[in-house]
Structure 1
Amino acid sequence: MKILSIQSAVAYGHVGNSAAVFPLQRIGVEVYPVYTVNFSNHTGYGAWRGPLISPQDVADVITGIEERGAFGEIDAVLSGYQGGEGIGDVILDAVSRVKAANPSAIYACDPVMGNAKSGCFVAPAIPILLRERVVPAADLITPNQFELGFLTGTEPTDLQSTLDSVDAARSTGPSTVLVTSVERPDRPEGTIEMLAVTDGGAWIVQTPHIPMKANGSGDVTAALFTAHFRDSGDAAEALAKTTSSVFDLLQNTYDAGTRELQLIESQEAYAHPRMQFEVTQVR
């Protein structure tokens, strides 16, 4: 499998492509990483250095990959955090060209906007761009529950309202939706869930909630689910593998007491997921 991944990159720590590429490689995926920023560290530290890469420079890198004849072999285009408005046009153009070369390729979009605790942390134009232009062009999206609500103009809370919000999102274009950080009011205390919905049904998985903020974990989740689902077409299996891997990554990070993901140290969790959590079909 080959994935064109258009995301941010950092030298210190693991977010964006710096979180997504290694787990994908560890499960045998060839990744073509294209950087939208090249920062020293993620912006959550409040201070960082390095350039925001211009849309034209990003486009030039993508064109160079195309000139090597690679587009016909790409199985998926993956995008995450979009630092500026112009990157959206570059990504959509790349998706169009990849699909022209390989009609079976999919576009997986992680519509990064914010979360329930912090609210939106992207430029004001980005959520609108994602909702109106980028998400409708995607085959697979991986919003958290907060982002799902913004994309659909709904307030997903319990399982039924979350499923209704997913249906609203799917009606705009993407056939597959993975909802991360699902926090139902009636869930057992100390747990958190993920929900995957396709044309074939809906599946949910519940894990213990690890009490930490883990920048980059969503990027790992989106990458692994995209690869597993593109490989098998089985949403339940992809959900089980992704959940197992990401939980162990987060547990290892929590146990180490570090701010940055223990991404390299957790590599066996990607290569050989323990499959320790039950996936339940809910529709």
Structure 2
Amino acid sequence: MKVLSIQSAVAYGHVGNSAAVFPLQRIGVEVLPVYTVNFSNHTGYGQWRGPLISPDDVRDVITGIEERGVLPQIDVVLSGYQGGEGIADVVLDAVARVKEANPDAVYACDPVMGNAVSGCFVAPAIPVLLRDRVVPAADIITPNQFELGFLTGTEPADLDSTLEAVDAARAMGPRTVLVTSVERPDRPEGTIEMLAVTDDGAWIAQTPRIPMKANGSGDVTAALFTAHLTRTGDAADALARTTSSVFDLLERTHDSGARELALVESQESYASPRMQFAVTRVR
């Protein structure tokens, strides 16, 4: 499997491609990383150095890949945080070119906007751009519950309303939706869930909630789920593997006391997930 991953990169820490690439490689996926920024560290520190890469330069890198004759071999185009409006055009153009070369390729979009605690942390134009242009072009999207609400103009809370919001999102274009950070009011205290919905059904997985902010964990989640699903076509299995791997990554990070993900130290959790959490069919 080959994945064209168009995301940010940092020298220190793990977000964007600096979070997604290694776990994918560890499960045997060949990744072609294309960077949209090249920062010293993620912006959550409040200070960082390094350049935003212009949309034209990002497009040039993709054109160079195309000139090597690689696009027919690409199985997945993956995108995450979009720092500026111009990157969306580049991503959508890349998706169109890859799908022309390989009609079986899929586009997986993590529509990064914010979360229920922090609210939106992207430029005001980005959520609208994602909703109106990017998400409709995607085959797979991986919003958190907050982002799902913005995309669909709803306030998903319990399972029924979350499933209704997913149906609204799927009506926009993507056939597969993975909802992360699902917090139902009737869930057991101290837990959190992920919900996967495809044409074949809907499945939910519940884990203990780890009390930490983990920049980059969503990037790992989107990458692993997309790769597992594309390989097998089995959403329940992809959800189980991803849930197991990401939980162990977060638990190891929390136990270490480090601010950055214990990405390398957790590599066996990607290659051989423990499959310790049940996946329940809910539709």
Same-fold call, TM > 0.5? yes
Q: Distance in 2 between matches of 1:233 and 1:92?
A: 24
Taking the aligned partners of 2:62 and 2:110, their CA distance within structure 1 comes to: 19
RMSD: 0.2
Partner of residue 9, structure 2: 9
The answer for the alignment partner of 1:168 in structure 2 is: 168
Matches within 5 A, 1:1-283: 1-283=1-283
- Post-superposition Cα deviations, 1:212-261, rounded to whole Å, max 9, x if no partner, equal 00000000000000000000000000000000000000000000000000
Task: Give a deviation string over 1:54-73, Cα, whole Å, max 9, x none.
Answer: 00000000000010011000
SS of the residue 1:205 aligns to: strand
Whole-Å separation in 1 of the counterparts to 2:132 and 2:70:
29
The Cα shift of 1:129 comes to: 0.3
Distance across 1 between alignment mates of 2:105 and 2:5: 13
* Secondary structure of residue in 2 paired with 1:223: helix
Residue 81 of structure 1 aligns to a residue whose secondary structure is coil
Aligned to 1:180, the other structure's residue is in SS state strand
In 2, the alpha carbon distance for the partners of 1:127 and 1:70 equals 31
Q: Can you list the C-alpha shifts for 1:88-116, whole angstroms capped at 9, x where unaligned?
A: 00000000000000000000000000000
Distance 1:137 1:161 in 2: 24
Amino acid at match of 1:84: G
Aligned length: 283
One-letter code aligned to 1:162:
T
**SS of structure 1 residue aligned to 2:5:** strand
Runs of 4+ in 1 over 3 A off after TM superposition: none
In the alignment, the residues of structure 1 paired with residue 229 and residue 197 of structure 2 have an alpha-carbon distance, to the nearest angstrom, of: 12
Tell me, in whole angstroms, the C-alpha distance in 2 between the residues paired with 1:65 and 1:114: 31
**DSSP-derived class of the 1:179 partner:** strand
Q: State the distance in 1 between where 2:146 and 2:69 align.
A: 39
Partner-residue secondary structure (3-state), 1:33: strand
CA distance in 2, matches of 1:58, 1:112: 19
Alpha-carbon deviations, 1:119-150, whole Å to 9, x = none? 00000000000000000000000000000000
Cα displacement (A) at 1:13: 0.1
Tell me, in whole angstroms, the C-alpha distance in 1 between the residues paired with 2:70 and 2:120: 35
- Aligned partner of residue 126 in structure 1, secondary structure: helix
**How far apart are the structure 2 equivalents of 1:67 and 1:116?**
42
Distance in 1 between residues matched to 2:25 and 2:219, nearest whole Å: 14
Give the percent of matched residue pairs that are identical in Structure 1 and Structure 2.
Answer: 83
1: distance between equivalents of 2:121 and 2:62? Answer: 27
SS at match of 1:280: strand
Give the Cα separation in 2 of the matches to 1:23 and 1:162: 29
- C-alpha separation between the residues in 1 aligned to 2:254 and 2:109? 27
State the AA in 1 paired with 2:226.
T
Q: Distance in 1 between matches of 2:157 and 2:234?
A: 26
Instruction: Return the alpha-carbon distance in structure 2 between the equivalents of residues 70 and 31 of structure 1.
Output: 12
Following the alignment from structure 2 to structure 1, what is the Cα–Cα distance between the partners of residues 147 and 211? Answer: 20
- Quote how far apart the aligned CAs of 1:270 are: 0.2
Provide the C-alpha distance between the structure 2 equivalents of 1:156 and 1:66, rounded to a whole number of angstroms.
41
1:34 is paired with a residue of what secondary structure? Answer: strand
